[in-house]
Amino acid sequence: MNQVQNFTKGLFKENPVFVMMLGLCPALGVTTSAINGLGMGLATTFVLLMSNIVVSIIKNAIPPKVRIPSFIVIIASFVTIVDLTMNAYLPSLHKELGLFIPLIVVNCLVMGRAEGFASKNNTLSSIIDALGMGFGFAIALTILGGVREILGSGAIFGVSLVDADLMLAFVLAPGAFIGLGYLIAIHRAIKKN
């Protein structure tokens, strides 16, 4: 597979949220607005990138039997870095994303790429794979956040478009499920054509 395909597969064809259904908890939990979705997407991309790099470098040094625990420790270290850095420099975003920052550890997407890709490929491919998957995740979260923000509060990235309260349910919990359901269906329809 050439590197361009390696990068673009995560953006649309194998999008982690819409196709592979990985990392759904943060995808539903933090996307009350586009900016939260983007923040979460970028935080996950960072962890994904760093863990893919480290795993692909030391893959031969890890005994196969303790593979999974080793990956978990690597991922958890980077999540701690993100958690503390965000808390220091972006306290308001950190507060909004809350519990979902430490929960990047158990995001199946990060673990899945470490186990399924980085442990079998060289460092360059792993970096490109991580960037593609990470951006695909960030795009999906930003779209879902944007849709919910527009329908729920009539704004996008905090910029108010209409001056009224719209369907409040879309900013609340039910909107996350319904919004994602329709987005998956739309993604399927576009992919088919």
Partner 1 sequence: MEYIIILISAIFVNNIVLAKFLGICPFVGVSAKTDTAVGMSGAVMFVMTIATIITWLIKTYILEVYGLQFLEIISFILVISSLVQLVEIILKKVSPPLFQALGIYLPLITTNCAILGVAIEASGTTDFGLLHSTVFAIANAIGFGLVMILFASLREHLDLVNVPKGMRGVPAAFIVAGILALAFMGFSGMV
Instruction: Note whether 21 binds partner 1 by CB under 8 A.
Output: yes
Answer for which of 108, 155, 156, 166 binds partner 1 (CB under 8 A) is: 108
For partner 1, the binding residue among 105, 130, 143, 147 (CB under 8 A) is 105
Q: 3-state DSSP call for residue 160? A: strand
Q: Which is nearer to partner 1, 158 or 174 (CB)?
A: 174
Q: Does 106 bind partner 1 (CB under 8 A)?
A: yes
Are 6 and 12 spatial neighbours (Cβ–Cβ below 8 Å)? no
Report how far residue 122's alpha carbon sits from residue 155's, in angstroms, rounded to the nearest whole number: 43
Does position 141 interact with partner 1 (CB under 8 A)? The reply is no
How many residues of this chain bind partner 1 (CB under 8 A)?
39
Q: Which of 79, 93, 114, 133 binds partner 1 (CB under 8 A)?
A: 79
Please tell me the distance from the alpha carbon of residue 105 to that of residue 80, in angstroms, as a whole number. Answer: 9
Q: What is the largest CA-CA distance in the chain?
A: 59
Task: Give whichever of 105 and 140 is closer to partner 1, judged by the CB atom.
Answer: 105
- Give the gyration radius of the chain's Cα atoms: 17
Q: Applying CB under 8 A, which part among 9-17, 101-109, 122-130, 135-143 lies near partner 1?
A: 101-109
Instruction: Point out which span in 26-34, 40-48, 124-132, 137-145 binds partner 1 (CB under 8 A).
Output: 26-34
156 strand-pairing partners: 159
Strand blocks (E) in the chain:
155-156, 159-160
* CB of 23 closer than 8 Å to CB of 101: no
**20 Cβ partners below 8 Å, 6+ apart?**
14, 109, 112
In the complex, the smallest distance separating the C-beta of residue 3 from partner 1, rounded to whole angstroms, is 29
Min dist. Cβ of residue 186 to partner 1 (A): 8
Helix or strand or coil: residue 155?
strand
Q: Closer to partner 1 at the Cβ: 8 or 183?
A: 183
Q: How far is the CB of 100 from partner 1 (least distance, A)?
A: 8
CA distance 97 to 127: 26
Least Cβ distance, residue 159 to partner 1 (angstroms)? 26
Binding partner 1 (rule: CB under 8 A), the pick from 44, 107, 125, 126 is: 107
